[in-house]
Amino acid sequence: MSRYVLVVDDIQVAATTIAEALDLLGYETRVAYGSRPAIESLAHRLPDVILLDINMPGLDGIEVCRYLRRDPRTAKIPIIAISVETQEETVAQARKAGVNAFLPKPIDMDALEKTLKRLLPRPP
């Protein structure tokens, strides 16, 4: 059974590129182009892990992460923040909001694969 990853990014090319790479690695993916579509998609199916862009219009990734951590249904889902902003302040804010890992954009697929393996328990 493949693991289900929700990729959240308001830049369609970035989101689909990551999703396609994850598909090749054997993950099932869904793409949400922004915060609201991501939150709405959680009503249908909860992912095993969320890749969450930090810089998005409206609700940014930090606020989305805080929202997800307050909801008992999503509080324990691992969240990997992704961003072109890698300043210490941004990373610290993301960690304080509850992300489990932070990866800089452009995404290094080897680093992403290692992070996913670290955060996702082995399936039974």
Residue 44 above 80 pLDDT? yes
- Number of structural domains in the chain: 1
Range of the domain at 83: 4-117
Average pLDDT for residues 32-40, to the nearest whole number?
96
Residue 122 lies in a domain: no
Which tens digit of pLDDT belongs to each residue from 83-124? 998 899 999 999 999 999 999 999 999 999 999 999 997 665
Q: What distance in Å separates the CA atoms of residue 80 and residue 69, rounded to the nearest whole number?
A: 13
Comparing 17-21, 35-39, 85-89, which segment has the lowest mean pLDDT?
85-89
Residue 124 lies in a domain: no
Phi-psi domain of 34 (left: phi exceeds 0; alpha: psi -120 through 50; beta: other): left
Percent of the chain with pLDDT over 70: 97
Residue 26 lies in a domain: yes
* CATH code for the domain in which residue 94 is found: 3.40.50.2300
Residue 103 lies in a domain: yes
Average pLDDT for residues 60-81, to the nearest whole number?
97
